[in-house]
Amino acid sequence: MSYASTIAEQLNLGTRQVEKTIELLEQGATVPFIARYRKEATGSLNEVQITTIRDLLLRLKELDKRREAILSSVNEQGKLTPELEKQILAATNMTELEDLYLPYKPKRRTRATMAVERGLEPLANEIQKQYSCHLDQLAEKYINPEKGVNTIDDALAGARDIIAERVSENAQARNKVRNLFRRSAMLSSKVVKNKEEEGGKFESWFDWKENAMRAPSHRILALFRGEEEGVLRVHVMPESDDPAYETLERQFVSGRYDSSEQVRMAVRDGYKRLLAPSIETEFYNLLKEKADKEAIRVFAENLRQLLLAPPFGQKRILAIDPGFRTGCKTVCLDAQGQLLHNETIYPFTSVREERAAIAKLEALVEAFHIEAIAIGNGTAGRETEEVVKRCHFKGKLIAVMVSENGASVYSASDVARREFPDYDVTVRGAVSIGRRLMDPLSELVKIDPKSIGVGQYQHDVNQKMLQESLEDVVVSCVNSVGVELNTASRELLSYVSGIGPALADKIVEYRNQEGPFESRSELKKVERLGDKAFEQCAGFLRVRESDNPLDRSAVHPERYALVERMAKDAGTTVEQLMASKELRQKIKIEKYVTADCGLPTLQDIMKELDKPGLDPRARFEVFEFDKNVTRLEDLKEGMILPGIVTNITAFGAFVDVGVHQDGLVHISQLANRRVADPNEVVHLHQHVKVKVIEVDLRRHRISLSMKL
């Protein structure tokens, strides 16, 4: 079966759809490009479906690569029978493939291999036949003191070791035990002796047990972290060995002879010593993979919401990175986010300094025509907000609390040093806070997504898988919003379909030397940006000042001639067509359908002509915390407070109510109904009302409810 057929069957898609998607991927097309501009070829598959096809294709190729290596290895040993070859070729997953290879896999010396070296394999073969015989007389023939077989018991023990290993390497037996684990394995944990006090944060799991396959991802990761830190001992095993013994004995034991009893003993030893630990490791890894995937899914969804948070827009911003003792680093930015001025104010050292700070803020707002103030939400954030509220500005001005997560990572990064080589980390951090208010997406792409702080157990999960997933999210978000070619940073450009870091550098270099791009087509003058890269990136880049109005839209240059024909047929220009709804309504798009441009693409074009370059992000809304609540000690049970959702996990949502410690709304407290996934109810940066249901001052924990 071809890759396309296999994937189509798994995803319940048409084989032709998958074939065309694979063809495009292998020609170097990106997921956003295929989803947006090749709908006719794929049958309008979305980004999630195309990404899944890409990942399954990679997995199938890895499976085939491993299959070839196994066939080659077994063949070199001279043990590749037609039946075994057929089984290896028919294997549909890596577990099945490795089970078939296990008996032929080069291994370190085991009790079984040592028994073979002592000449006991023929004895094991005879015992496995399980016929009536004088077992002692049979075993006596294999006594050989020179090889360490001194007694009949030594000979029989060695033969059992060989049989035990055969049992543990039998593909059918492994599958039966695997099914038993799947049905009845328990995930359990016990505290390591004398670690009770040191591992207090894992107290809930000092004596824990639940069905392994039903355990939620966050608990699996918590238990595994406890084991990693040496506090817990974790096992994934059925509660009883008896079902496994019965299953394996049915397969391997026949008759009631002395030899049958030897096989029974070998089967039990093989399960307990070899097979059970092996399958336990397999299920441990399976649970870890399952938990990783769920944690990564949650992280990716949070990141998507964070990157697509509403932008305040291109406004002149005064940004403050608050601090008590070290002062508040204050910067003024123009509407493009360029640094105009910076200095430090000290509103918390004395009454005189507070007055001076207020006077300074009022003067800066006046001098730089500031339109909004961004305040970092870390230490001293709420207190700084109160100082700002005591200022008397001439016009109406909003002050917004902005998440500082990752700002310190940015300020110490190569990106920040390149942008601001003459300023220290505190100035860079304040600039980042201000720019985040203007356009979260443009600023957050400069930071490693793992440092933004919107995941659960992100340091415990598979880092390669996490990086790839988060990279996909950033690419998806950047391309769904679109990028202004003449103002985008190198980092933002590098996420545009078909560009990458090297071409982004070339684009910025060209822009610096030649001035702003006047059109999309000018991109072709950039060194190393060939036809393929232009095809992939052009539709996602905007040139606001271009003479061609289509350069400001998501209409791809390959369709400009089509739009020009539409305008000509309507007796007007492209610009007038984009400006007049009445003219657009007269166009019958069916007459423009061709083999490679069907209704899906034509409908997309008409949407773009209606609202060229429309930002898919929501509108910005101002939020204010309760002015009477600034510290944990101010919270009282029963209070109803405004809050902002800062993080979403599988077990609930964290909400900032303005006390420098986020509270948890457990999944059971999100709504007056059963909630399977918190994302059904809340989204990142959502403004919510919450009730305080418990405050634990000692552990700095706040329990909240949205059941008001």
Residues of the chain with CATH 1.10.10.650: 3-104
Angle, helix 94-101 to helix 171-184, in steps of 10 degrees = 140
Could you tell me the pLDDT band of residue 630, with boundaries at 50, 70 and 90? confident
| Rg, the chain, Cα only | 33
With a CB cutoff of 8 Å and minimum separation 6, the contacts of 496 are 478, 479, 483, 488, 504, 537, 540, 541
- pLDDT given for residue 517 in this prediction: 97
Average pLDDT estimate for 570-578: 93
pLDDT confidence of residue 218: 87
Q: What topology does CATH give the domain 3-104?
A: Arc Repressor Mutant, subunit A (1.10.10)
579-594 average pLDDT score: 92
Portions of the chain given CATH number 2.40.50.140? 632-705
Could you tell me the CATH superfamily of domain 317-438? YqgF/RNase H-like domain (3.30.420.140)
The arithmetic mean of pLDDT across residues 511-535, rounded, is 96
Between the ranges 154-163, 198-207, 655-664, 669-678, where is the mean pLDDT highest?
154-163
CATH 1.10.150.310 boundaries in the chain: 509-610
Assess whether pLDDT exceeds 90 at residue 445: yes
Average pLDDT taken over every residue of the chain: 93
* 215 has a pLDDT exceeding 70: yes
Architecture label for domain 509-610: Orthogonal Bundle (1.10)
Q: What is the pLDDT of residues 281-306, one digit of tens each?
A: 999 999 999 999 999 998 998 899 98
Exposure class string for 592-620: b at 16+ Cβ within 10 A, else e? beeeebbeebbebbbebbeebeebebeeb
Task: Label residue 1 by pLDDT band (50, 70, 90).
Answer: low
- pLDDT tens digits for 31-58? 999 999 999 999 999 999 999 999 999 9
The answer to whether residue 182 scores a pLDDT higher than 90 is: yes
pLDDT at 455: 67
Ranges in the chain annotated CATH 3.30.420.140: 317-438
> What would the pLDDT profile of 505-522 be if each residue is shown by its tens digit?
999 999 999 999 999 999
In this structure, which topology does domain 632-705 adopt according to CATH? Answer: OB fold (Dihydrolipoamide Acetyltransferase, E2P) (2.40.50)
Task: Write the pLDDT tens digit of every residue in 320-355.
Answer: 999 999 999 999 999 999 999 999 999 999 999 999
Are the C-beta atoms of residues 662 and 702 closer than 8 Å to each other? yes
Indicate if the pLDDT at residue 177 is higher than 90: yes
pLDDT grade for 201, boundaries at 50, 70 and 90? confident
- The span from the CA of 289 to the CA of 217, in Å, is 9
Give Cβ neighbours of residue 262 (< 8 Å, ≥ 6 apart).
127, 135, 156, 159, 160, 163
**Is the pLDDT score of 456 beyond 80?**
no
More confident residue, 676 or 97: 97
User: For the segment 270-282, what is each residue's pLDDT rounded down to a tens digit?
Assistant: 999 999 999 999 9
For the segment 661-702, what is each residue's pLDDT rounded down to a tens digit? 899 999 999 999 998 889 889 988 889 999 999 998 888 899
